[in-house]
Amino acid sequence: MMAGPGPQPTGSAVRALGLEYRSLQEEPVEGFRVKLVNEDNLFEWEVAIFGPPDTLYQGGYFKAHMKFPADYPYSPPSIRFLTKVWHPNVYENGDLCISILHPPVDDPQSGELPCERWNPTQNVRTILLSVISLLNEPNTSSPANVDASVMYRRFKDSKGRDKEYENIIRKQVSAARLEAEKDGVVVPLTLEDYCRKPKAKAAEPPVDMTDFYVDDYDIGDDDDDLDMGDSDAGDDGDDSGNGES
Amino acid sequence: MGDATREAEPRVDGKDAQVNQDVLIMEQQRQIEEEISDAIPLVGAKEDLLGTLEKEYISDPIYSMKAKDLSSKYNSIRRTRPDGNCFFRAFAYAYFERLLTCKDDYKGFYDIVSKSKDDLIELGFPQFTLEDFYETFMEVVERIGSGDMTQDELYELFNNQGQSNYIVVYLRLITSGKLQRDADFYLNFIDGNRTMTAFCHQEVEPMFKESDHIHIIALSAALNVGVRVRYMDRGDSAQVIAHDFPEGATPAVHLLYRPGHYDILYEQ
């Protein structure tokens, strides 16, 4: 069975994660790639987020681990960056704090601005699109990294003249680009490339979800490393992930 | 109890100051939920109303009196697990059970729910996951309609956590959809200055969030299914007061409310 403490994963969790993983392999979304940390475990994913063009994060390649709870999709996953990220909403240890991953418990900020919250229809796609948009639009009202938050505000208030924040980000982005090169990944730099849908993987036999049990699932072949592959022209109408606060 | 839990939590990188309080609360809640789920099935068997309640309230004169009053109108009760989803689960079970025998109501209900998906996508719910919940829900509805479902099978299905919870999720989404669509009206019922969307994000869509009047009004209106709730509390009246949702509707589902929880009632 699954490693780690906590309650046994439910059939719903395996089913939901299997469906999502499969769908993201077949139809990757602009801006990020996913793979399993370990082929036998659907509950831990490694994701790579590309910095959106025309932002400080352009060209960046940010790796993170996503951990899903046993009662997913009723509770949200957590995200921890493996790449160093200096950001008001990222803790020093890499843990990301974002409203969409806020556990659905009573919270004292119930009067706060309406923002995306966890509900069982949220999924990896909607989460990562929110993360991409948070990168460039930090939420400074409840910072996880106070120093970064103060620095970001100075950067914003000075209309970019105070460059301390920008310099740190740019440094981290170039370090992350080296990491991408090591991984053989080409980070999309233009908006056009970024929004292009990578070519879908060669057709694989469909997985019959009704036979999808914890003990014997099979996640396709071994070639799901995070390579971009050739880009295939073609627009898709997918959500751009804007509008997240 | 809370302190014990906190101390037991392993420190991460010596940063216990950063341990997320929400995670601790969630963990504790999870333990409580586990205890409840070991003790009470998602949906229980039908029980004799008077016998059950009299035993429960043997040393409580007010509740005993109310149990008697209730037993003049209802003869059985079916308990649901108190996991925050009890209203939705009780509603779904009671109404689906009724549809097994009451074919007249089926067509109207089917038409409403089969159209619900597009409305919800229009409201911005992610299609990919929404469809999964919708299809699971409709599969059950269609089985009921085709006569391919017995009482026992319905009972089993509602005690299968995966399917049972998917049905609850979908009803929560329908409720949220109704509240957002008719926000002008429903905003009158909520406290504070939350927007309806924020209210739905926080109080309706997440699993295990308890239901209030507003949830019941919206769901019963959205599905055009009358719900009568019998309120059993410490109030003076010897009677167990009834509220019908939506107001004036003929009840198709009868529920018993005791502070914090809903169970299913069966009429004489």
* Nearest to A71, CA basis, from A13, A25, A19: A13
pTM comes to: 0.81
- Mutation site for B-interface testing, chosen from A93, A121, A240 by largest number of B Cβ within 10 Å: A121
Strands (E), B110-188: none
Alpha-carbon distance A39 to nearest alpha carbon in chain B (angstroms) = 23
Long-range Cβ contacts of B7-10 (<8 Å, 24+ apart): none
Is A105 in contact with B29 (Cβ distance < 8 A)? yes
The per-residue pLDDT for A7 is 52
pLDDT level of residue B135 (50, 70, 90 thresholds): very high
In chain B the domains, ranked by start, together with CATH numbers, are: 47-79+227-267 (3.30.200.60), 82-225 (1.20.1300.20)
Distance CA B204, CA B154 (A): 25
Distance CA A117, CA A99 (A): 6
Segments of chain A scoring below 70 in pLDDT: 1-9, 103-114, 196-245
Which of B162, B172, B197 has the CB atom closest to A11's CB atom?
B162
Q: Catalytic residue positions of A?
A: 97
- List, for residues A94-139, the tens digit of each pLDDT value: 999 998 998 665 554 544 455 778 999 999 999 999 999 999 999 9
Q: Among A34-38, B28-32, B95-99, which is the least confidently predicted range?
A: B28-32
One-letter amino acid of B36: I
Cβ-based contacts of A95 with chain B (< 8 Å): 18, 20
- List, for residues B220-263, the tens digit of each pLDDT value: 999 999 999 999 988 888 889 999 999 999 999 999 999 999 99
Among chain A, residues having any CB pair with chain B shorter than 8 Å are: 6-7, 10-12, 15-16, 19-20, 23, 73-75, 91-93, 95, 102-105, 107, 110-123, 125-126
The mean pLDDT of B74-100, rounded to a whole number, is 97
Q: Give ipTM to 2 decimals.
A: 0.81
Which of A19, A92, A93 has the CB atom closest to B132's CB atom?
A19
- Give yes or no for B169 touching A (CB within 8 A): yes
- List, for residues B171-224, the tens digit of each pLDDT value: 999 999 999 999 999 999 998 888 999 899 989 999 999 999 999 999 999 999
Q: Which fold has domain A11-105+114-195?
A: Ubiquitin Conjugating Enzyme (3.10.110)
One-letter amino acid of A149: S
Q: Where are the domains of chain A?
A: 11-105+114-195
Q: Catalytic residue positions of B?
A: 83, 86, 261
Across chain B, what does the average pLDDT equal?
90
Distance CA A74, CA A90 (A): 24
CA-based angle B175:A18:A123, to the nearest 5? 40
Alpha-carbon distance B133 to nearest alpha carbon in chain A (angstroms) = 8
Cβ-based contacts of B209 with chain A (< 8 Å): 104
Cβ-based contacts of A20 with chain B (< 8 Å): 128-129
Cβ-based contacts of B128 with chain A (< 8 Å): 20, 23, 123, 125
